[in-house]
Chains A and B, each alone.
Chain A
Amino acid sequence: MSKAFEELGLDATPLAGAMPAFCVSIPAGELRGICEQARARKARLVALWGSDETPRRAGYALHLALGFPSGLLWLSVQLSREDPHYPGIADIYASANRMQRAAADLLGIIPSVDADRRKWLRHGAWPEGAFPLRKTVEAAARFAQGPDRYPFIPVEGEGVHEIPVGPVHAGTIEPGHFRFSIVGEKILRLEERLGYKHKGIEKRFEQMTLEEGAKLAGRVSGDSTVAYAWAYAMAVEGATGTEPPPRALALRGILLELERIANHLGDLGYLGNDVALSFGFFQFWRLKEDLLRTHAQLFGHRYLMDTIVPGGVAKDLPRVAGESLTAHLERIEREVATLKSIYDEHAGAQDRFIMTGQVTPALAERMGLTGLAGRASGIARDLRVDYAIPPYQQLDPRAASHTRGDVAARVAVRFDEVFESMRLVQALVQQLPPGDIRAPLAAAAAGARGVGWIEGWRGEVLIALETAAANRIHRLHPHDPSWQNWPLLEHAVHGNIVPDFPLINKSFNLSYSGVDL
């Protein structure tokens, strides 16, 4: 038992798996007290979700994952079948707001009266009072498409008008709705409405075996396929007691850093594009395309999909291929260094980047900003650094850290991380341990839990798994850091001009699919 949890008066059980994680069941009455103490001890809310336990002759359950310095604490609160209410915690952890509403839409577990009870994932695809993630609802169920009336918060006053944007946007991006209230060019308020991409991912997992789920996990958010596939594999390995070989772990590290580099290159290009420096777009997207082609050549897929599997990895990296990868990265590194100095010295670009879309460290701390955007606002957390597990243990990874919290800081974090990831890949290739790349997956007992927790390019990705009988999935919650960061985008745009919204939005580059599920 860990000390942090002893202080909370909890008798938490360690969970098997690569990351330090513990679980404990608490009565609903203690939930708020524990969250208040956790918050006071600087623990962060990593995820909140619900589950249907009625097939096990129980009711429903609310689950929370809290991030402590000593590891992840998975809290479960049993709720009765007849009255699945619980005291909400969004006043303690602001990011819980949308997660509570999503759990209410999917499972009918409802926070106390004073909470924000507006719907979130439910648009018109299923009616009020139907809860698709309950076990009594078949995955193939069809509900009549109903009206979708969403109570946006109106802003009134002289000269205020609204601009509704989306769900189909002007660029090639995922669908979502943004409601701007503006005066002249300045943004007074932005309200986001997401959930358009809800396609029943969590329900789909419950129809799958542990092996089958890997492919779906890699498609929760396509740009983070490696992070999700690793988190999924880690959760399954924990639940089944499978130990992946050291060579597989090193290869996973290489894949995760390559995914980070590829995404950062793409974003750096688009950030140039959004400040009318199309030179930057074409240069970075040329480099990204080169890297994607190298991925396809070495690992068989441009985005490295399905290369991480439970038990290990699907594709080895022979010595010669490793050398060619290192040489290729060295070439890209030199070019990125040149492009960085061009960006740094470009007055027009810097003028648009600096002090645009700012999230101060104080606001970031209060609202729970995480991941890449967090590291641009003084939240120097990075799972690779905070819990150095193999293969990061011996590499001494360095977390990027900036404090200004503007677009320029999020650009700077990306540059820092591109260079650091290149160093990590090169070190991992050089020290690649010999041996197998995949261990056979042990059978899981029903009701076994596993946690996967990985620092993807956008931030921390969590997979919380509970198995069912016959190697199947009872409940799986994939959690994207975008849950935490989307609300901060609403703050970041305050007082900025509408034409800077695409730039600010791109500087966060949050996932829609990863939160709509």
Chain B
Amino acid sequence: MYQLLKQIVKTGIVSEPAPLPDDALRALEQRLGQVILKHFGRALAIRHVDAGSCNGCELEIHAMNSPYYNLEGLGIKFVASPRHADMLLVTGPVSRNMETALKRTWEATPDPKLVVAIGDCGCTGGIFGESYASCGRVSNVIPVDVAVPGCPPTPVAILQGILTAITPGR
């Protein structure tokens, strides 16, 4: 126990400041009113859905949970069910085998809700494109508010996308 406590003290606080929102990432105009955004901005519940990625974007979503990014300090937390979520964070080209599951997850998320598509594949279908097995980008299957490019996008870029989605548009 002594060693554990010593390690905590030695490490200190490593959290870094959060990025600012970026309107260029918007795929749709901000649809939600100020009042809702005020609440989302203080307590945002996110459900992640991997709709067919290579798992690269998931690595960065995990990394976003590292102490450097202090998500909970920003009022953001990941939840276990779409029924508890305000936002879906969707990765991958949407595989045809995940099309139904993604639509059902979206339907199970209560309104008002936001969707942030993550990564080049989520934005455009990426290297996998559209095929007999892939529906391509996320917005081919469900409406997307903000799309974050990158292969994979860094935790800062993903965080910026999330913050953009919950910020009033210009």
Contact stretch, chosen from B22-30, B31-39, B65-73, B162-170: B65-73
User: Which residue, of A197, A204, A221, A516, has the highest number of chain B Cβ atoms within 10 A?
Assistant: A197
Contact stretch, chosen from A56-64, A137-145, A374-382, A403-411: A137-145
Q: Which of A124, A305, A338 contacts B3 (CB 8 A)?
A: A338
Distance of A442 Cα from B60 Cα, bound (Å): 36
Instruction: Name the distance in Å between A193's Cβ and chain B's nearest Cβ.
Output: 11
Do B132 and A172 have beta carbons less than 8 Å apart?
no
> How many A residues touch the partner, as a band?
35 or more
Instruction: Name the distance in Å between B92's Cβ and chain A's nearest Cβ.
Output: 7
Q: Give chain B residues whose Cβ lies under 8 Å from the Cβ of A195.
A: 97
Give chain A's interface secondary structure class: loop
Is A423's beta carbon under 8 Å from chain B? no
Q: Give chain A residues whose Cβ lies under 8 Å from the Cβ of B9.
A: none
Do B58 and A173 have beta carbons less than 8 Å apart?
yes
Give per-residue flags for B120-143: 1 if the beta carbon is below 8 A from chain A beta carbons, else 0.
000000011111111000000000
Q: Which of B11, B52, B55, B127 contacts A221 (CB 8 A)?
A: B55
Known contacts: A201-B128, A289-B63. The answer to whether A222 contacts B96 by CB under 8 A is: no
Distance of A263 Cα from B64 Cα, bound (Å): 15
Do A203 and B58 have beta carbons less than 8 Å apart?
no
Is B49's beta carbon under 8 Å from chain A? yes
Do A215 and B80 have beta carbons less than 8 Å apart?
no
Do A199 and B65 have beta carbons less than 8 Å apart?
no
Instruction: Name the distance in Å between B115's Cβ and chain A's nearest Cβ.
Output: 14
Distance of A143 Cα from B58 Cα, bound (Å): 29
Do B4 and A225 have beta carbons less than 8 Å apart?
no
Give chain B's interface secondary structure class: mixed
Contact stretch, chosen from A107-115, A278-286, A312-320, A489-497: A278-286
Q: Give chain B residues whose Cβ lies under 8 Å from the Cβ of A216.
A: 127
Is B112's beta carbon under 8 Å from chain A? no
Contact stretch, chosen from A35-43, A78-86, A163-171, A242-250: A163-171
Q: Give chain B residues whose Cβ lies under 8 Å from the Cβ of A345.
A: 3
Distance of A358 Cα from B154 Cα, bound (Å): 36
Do A221 and B54 have beta carbons less than 8 Å apart?
yes
Q: Give chain A residues whose Cβ lies under 8 Å from the Cβ of B68.
A: 286, 289
User: Which residue, of A195, A199, A283, A303, has the highest number of chain B Cβ atoms within 10 A?
Assistant: A199
Do A172 and B131 have beta carbons less than 8 Å apart?
no
Do B59 and A170 have beta carbons less than 8 Å apart?
no
Instruction: Name the distance in Å between B44's Cβ and chain A's nearest Cβ.
Output: 15
Do A282 and B66 have beta carbons less than 8 Å apart?
yes
Instruction: Name the distance in Å between A344's Cβ and chain B's nearest Cβ.
Output: 10
Distance of A223 Cα from B63 Cα, bound (Å): 13
Do A167 and B98 have beta carbons less than 8 Å apart?
yes
Known contacts: A171-B80, A173-B50, A199-B93. The answer to whether A143 contacts B65 by CB under 8 A is: no
Do B7 and A339 have beta carbons less than 8 Å apart?
yes
Do A303 and B56 have beta carbons less than 8 Å apart?
yes
Find the B residue at minimum CB distance from A511.
B55
Q: Give chain B residues whose Cβ lies under 8 Å from the Cβ of A142.
A: 132
Is B45's beta carbon under 8 Å from chain A? no
Known contacts: A196-B97, A198-B95, A286-B14. The answer to whether A222 contacts B128 by CB under 8 A is: no
Instruction: Name the distance in Å between A449's Cβ and chain B's nearest Cβ.
Output: 24
Q: Give chain A residues whose Cβ lies under 8 Å from the Cβ of B149.
A: none
Q: Give chain B residues whose Cβ lies under 8 Å from the Cβ of A204.
A: 127-129, 131
Interface residues in B86-113 (C-beta closer than 8 Å to A): 92-93, 95-101, 105
Do B97 and A198 have beta carbons less than 8 Å apart?
yes
Is B159's beta carbon under 8 Å from chain A? no
Q: Which of A201, A215, A303 contacts B59 (CB 8 A)?
A: A303
User: Which residue, of B48, B50, B68, B99, has the highest number of chain A Cβ atoms within 10 A?
Assistant: B50
Do A172 and B96 have beta carbons less than 8 Å apart?
no
Do B154 and A302 have beta carbons less than 8 Å apart?
yes
Q: Give chain A residues whose Cβ lies under 8 Å from the Cβ of B67.
A: 282, 285-286
Q: Give chain A residues whose Cβ lies under 8 Å from the Cβ of B53.
A: 174, 197, 222, 513
Known contacts: A143-B132, A196-B97. The answer to whether A289 contacts B66 by CB under 8 A is: yes
Do A513 and B99 have beta carbons less than 8 Å apart?
no
Known contacts: A215-B127, A223-B59, A285-B67. The answer to whether A196 contacts B54 by CB under 8 A is: no
Instruction: Name the distance in Å between A291's Cβ and chain B's nearest Cβ.
Output: 11
Give per-residue flags for A119-139: 1 if the beta carbon is below 8 A from chain B beta carbons, else 0.
000011110000010000111
User: Interface of A with B (CB < 8 Å)?
Assistant: 123-126, 132, 137-143, 145, 167-168, 170-175, 195-201, 203-204, 215-216, 219-223, 225, 266, 279, 282-283, 285-286, 288-289, 292, 302-303, 305, 338-339, 341-342, 345-346, 511-513, 516
Given pairs A175-B52, A345-B3, 20 additional interface contacts (CB within 8 A) = A125-B97, A126-B132, A137-B132, A140-B131, A140-B132, A141-B132, A168-B47, A172-B61, A173-B50, A197-B52, A198-B95, A199-B93, A199-B131, A222-B56, A222-B58, A286-B66, A286-B67, A289-B68, A292-B63, A303-B59
Q: Which 8 A-B pairs have the closest CB atoms?
A: A222-B56, A125-B96, A200-B133, A170-B80, A285-B66, A222-B54, A219-B54, A222-B55
